[in-house]
Structure 1
Amino acid sequence: MTTRRSFLGGATATGVAATLGGPPAGASAGGEDGIAPAPRRSRAHDAIVAVNRGMRAHYAALKSDLITRLSPVIVVQNDAKGGRFTLLHDGTRESLHPVGEVFELAKSVSHVPLGVYSIIAPHLSDKVPNLPGAERIDAHDLEMVAFRGAGSTGWVAPLQEYAATLTAARRQLEEAGIPPEMVVSCRQVLDGALGFIDVAVAAGSFDIKSFEDFSVRVYEGIRTNMKYAAEAQIAGVEGLLRRWRSRIGEEAWQDLYTVVLSQWATSVLNQNSIIIKPCMNPAKVATHLIDLPAAEPPSDPVFVALDNLARIVQDNIAAELVFPSDRAAADALKGPQDLLADEILDRLGAERADGAAHPASFGSGEACPFSRRGIPARG
């Protein structure tokens, strides 16, 4: 019969054996239960990890049920037309693009310099030129982008094809039904790009300086287009929000959740979030307006939005119940901060206070580049 004393004795003997490189005298390699130490450890690992698997299964079940109950919710998928808006309320669903087409046309022409850049960028010199603002160009970033080098002519054909696209658009400006001032600004941008392309193709070369000169010439036209795009978006989104607010009623609107899906590059001060924010309940907007960046537009944006929203909503309640004595930990569970962030920052800070080396440090004794600013104090 195995007693607590004999078990502890066996464990101690096993530890000694591991230190000396072999089993203790009179003991079998398999241990008292006949199972070798490695399989026992694996079995223990699996049993403990099963606890987390069980949690995740129940967490997923709760989330799945909650997804079907979330209401009212507006999901916004940012796109070239100003955003596709979906309202979910009490089992009903409506999706549409509320922004007028002036937005899409203004943005389309304003993206011309970026289109030209995308073709020529791999063929630029990887040396930072002596230009105003050159210090803002990261030399390594430039080296990564300009991977083909200035000697290649692979840019000529695609640039000429893009010029044909620009020429076709320019011919149709008068027929597009856009404001006269925007016709002028679009023409300015298109003509500037076509001029840059003509010169580059004729010379068989270009450089960062010539592209910068082109960008400066067309910037005024881009600013005009941005004005019309902004006006169209504000009018379209605010008009839709007023209509939906009237439909679902003030009581429901006060609890509105809004999830705006965007790419990382536009996830801070996102155009639709800016317009929506003042239309929501100010007491809840901080927790009910969620900007959700993604690498690429999801195939089912509404499901992705609801899946993330369900996590947020159930974590809001879990945080106060799971961590009732630690407000900082509760806030971490309720927000985008990782629960271990506080502890990691504490440990990294302690290492530096002790003068311990750290593999990510730049130079000896340099302080960690991350601070705990903005993280609530414990207790």
Structure 2
Amino acid sequence: MATRRTFIGGAGGIGAATILGHTAAESSAASAPAAAAVDTQTARDSLRAVNAAMRTNYAALKADLVKNLGPVVIVQNDAKGGTFTLVHKGKQYVEHPVAEDFELAKSIAHVPLGIYSTIAEYLSGKVPNVSNADRIDAHDLDMVAMKGPGTDAWTTPLQAFADKLATAKNNLAAADLPQELQNSCAKILGEALTFIADSIRARAFDIASFQDFARRVHPSIRINMQHAAAAQISGVQGLCRKWRAQIGEAAWADLYTVVLSIWTTSVLNQAEIIIRPMMNQKKVNTHLIDIPTAQLPSDPIGVALDNLARIVQDNIAAELVFVADTKVADALKGKQDLLSDEILKELGTPVSGAAFRSAGKAKCPVDHGVSI
């Protein structure tokens, strides 16, 4: 009895034989044995193997592309204003362009954070009646204040921090800082030492007393921030002008910039703000790439180039694979998951993936329109 399988097989054989100028009887395809049946697991594994093979090919293309990327500027944010690497024509040029005033100004501006980090575990887990009580998440406070105020174990590490502050204050005049910056640093250090001395003497502190200290030093912290910002702008702009002249206008017009940042600074990142207006404005929205990380990677150049290679090869893949659907092509070229719109439809969400993202996790949680 002829089955559907043997009928289709025979028809295929006849068609092939006719094209080749042979008769059906001369074709061995007509009498070929049926393929052996496979179990479900084997069949499914064969489907998975297709994706595995795709990923192998994709990785091979990416590995070759990494070697061909350029020009690229890679920014590693750090306490000294950043390490900047230019990758161009197979060579890497590394610079630390920001003046020391950046690091020193931020170092002293971080004093209140240093004190907070030392005493936070010993706070009360209850939100007190303070002016910004509605802005303090009660659960977050409860998790941070894990040890509570029932012990004075905080006095030893706090005094150790005070010793470092006192040394810095004694040496401040010899640090050769601009006078305004020196004065603001002196104010921050002096107020911090007073807060610590009072707290240790009383064997007690609370949110309200710490906030009073923080208010007193805030104007000085703003001065330090202004000096740090000026130092970084000057250094980064000067380096960009130098590299632009080095590689030429044509290459600079195609420049990619990859900024490796911590998530908490990945919106309005300082390096991104400075570099953006110096890039080709027709391409900057696609060529300035911020990669937020939980911790800066041990191989930042490798991570940056690996991610950029994915982006570049997907840019071309999008226009070749999804030529019939520009919306899906744009998703592949950007940060939107290809399934996002389909999932939103299935969930009955009446917005596109782009609108959902802008209203959700990609939006900075802080209202920067509030004046300070």
The Cα shift of 1:33 comes to: 6.9
Equivalence for 1:24: none
The Cα shift of 1:155 comes to: 1.1
Distance 1:221 1:251 in 2: 44
Specify the SS of the correspondent of 1:154.
coil
CA deviation profile, 1:82-107 (whole Å, cap 9, x unmatched): 00000111122110110000000000
Where do residues 68-147 of structure 1 align in structure 2 (5 Å cutoff)? 68-147=67-146
Where do residues 160-199 of structure 1 align in structure 2 (5 Å cutoff)? 160-199=159-198
Specify the SS of the correspondent of 1:293.
strand
Equivalence for 2:47: 48
Specify the SS of the correspondent of 1:82.
coil
The Cα shift of 1:142 comes to: 0.8
Specify the SS of the correspondent of 2:176.
coil
Equivalence for 1:324: 323
Distance 1:34 1:375 in 2: 46
**After the TM superposition, which segments of 4 or more aligned residues of structure 1 sit over 2 Å from their partners?**
1-6, 32-35, 370-376
CA deviation profile, 1:163-194 (whole Å, cap 9, x unmatched): 01111111111111210111110011111111
Equivalence for 2:258: 259
Specify the SS of the correspondent of 2:217.
helix
The Cα shift of 1:276 comes to: 0.2
The Cα shift of 1:151 comes to: 0.8
Specify the SS of the correspondent of 2:348.
helix
TM-score by length of 1: 0.83
Percent identity over the alignment is: 59
Q: How many residues align?
A: 329
The Cα shift of 1:43 comes to: 1.1
The Cα shift of 1:324 comes to: 1.2
Distance 2:136 2:356 in 1: 32
Cα distance change, pair 375–138 in 1 and its aligned pair in 2 (3 A): closer
Aligned-partner residue type, residue 150 of structure 1? P
**More displaced, 141-150 or 271-280?**
141-150
Cα distance change, pair 33–99 in 1 and its aligned pair in 2 (3 A): same
Equivalence for 1:355: none
Give the unaligned 5+ runs of structure 2: 7-34, 358-372
Distance 2:254 2:309 in 1: 15
Cα distance change, pair 2–97 in 1 and its aligned pair in 2 (3 A): farther
CA deviation profile, 1:46-92 (whole Å, cap 9, x unmatched): 11111111111100000000000001110000000000000111122
Cα distance change, pair 176–45 in 1 and its aligned pair in 2 (3 A): same
Specify the SS of the correspondent of 2:260.
strand
Distance 1:373 1:332 in 2: 9
Equivalence for 1:213: 212
Does residue 1:374 correspond to 2:355, yes or no?
yes
Cα distance change, pair 339–251 in 1 and its aligned pair in 2 (3 A): same
Equivalence for 1:57: 56
Equivalence for 2:370: none
Cα distance change, pair 218–2 in 1 and its aligned pair in 2 (3 A): farther
Specify the SS of the correspondent of 1:172.
helix
Specify the SS of the correspondent of 2:257.
strand
Q: Is the 8 A contact 2:109 2:224 kept in 1?
A: yes
Equivalence for 2:28: none
Q: Is the 8 A contact 2:341 2:352 kept in 1?
A: no
Distance 1:324 1:241 in 2: 37
Where do residues 194-343 of structure 1 align in structure 2 (5 Å cutoff)? 194-343=193-342
Q: Is the 8 A contact 2:336 2:353 kept in 1?
A: no
Distance 1:373 1:91 in 2: 36
